[in-house]
């Protein structure tokens, strides 16, 4: 007999922030009757790894995560649009700026350090 999740909240980890747990919990609740417990727990972790950490998986896994994310992740992404975005610069530019007492780098060209995306693509 296949076991399905009955108590979603038991899967919250000790150091998981509220925002991450809220999204992972929403994913678990949305699919708790569609997958066996162990498979769903793995899928939920894969989903949050993609969304929060930018992890990449084999194409088939990415497609499956994208399908399962539909209807779960949109509100979270919309809220993220209004948040401040971090701007990354090379350490040498940051040190130079600090020494010179400037508020921003003298150069108008972006540094070679890539900027973090506001949300992850499941392509």
Q: What is the DSSP letter of 31?
A: H
More confident residue, 10 or 82: 10
> How many other CB atoms sit within 10 Å of the CB of residue 93?
19
Q: Please report, for the chain, the start and end positions of each structural domain, with discontinuous segments joined by +.
A: 8-83
- Residue 1's pLDDT is 65
Q: Which of 9-13, 32-36, 69-73 has the lowest mean pLDDT?
A: 9-13
pLDDT digits (tens, 9 = 90+) for 58-104: 999 999 999 999 999 988 888 888 776 666 677 877 777 777 776 66
Ramachandran angles phi, psi of 79, nearest 5°: -65, -35
Taking the model in full, what pTM does it have?
0.63
The answer, yes or no, to whether residue 113 has pLDDT greater than 70, is no
What tokens does 44 get?
A: 């939920």
pLDDT at position 103: 63
């Amino acid at each position: 007999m296949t076991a399905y999740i009955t108590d979603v909240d038991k899967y919250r980890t000790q150091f998981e922030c509220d925002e991450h747990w809220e999204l992972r919990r929403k994913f678990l609740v949305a699919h708790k009757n569609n997958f066996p417990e162990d498979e769903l727990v793995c899928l939920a972790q894969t989903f949050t790894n993609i969304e929060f950490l930018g992890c990449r998986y084999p194409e088939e896994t990415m497609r499956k995560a994208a399908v399962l994310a539909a209807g779960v992740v949109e509100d979270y992404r919309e809220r993220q649009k209004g948040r401040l975005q971090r701007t990354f610069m090379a350490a040498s530019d940051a040190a130079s700026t600090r020494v010179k007492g400037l508020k921003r780098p003298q150069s108008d060209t972006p540094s070679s350090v890539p900027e973090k995306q506001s949300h992850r693509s499941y392509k």
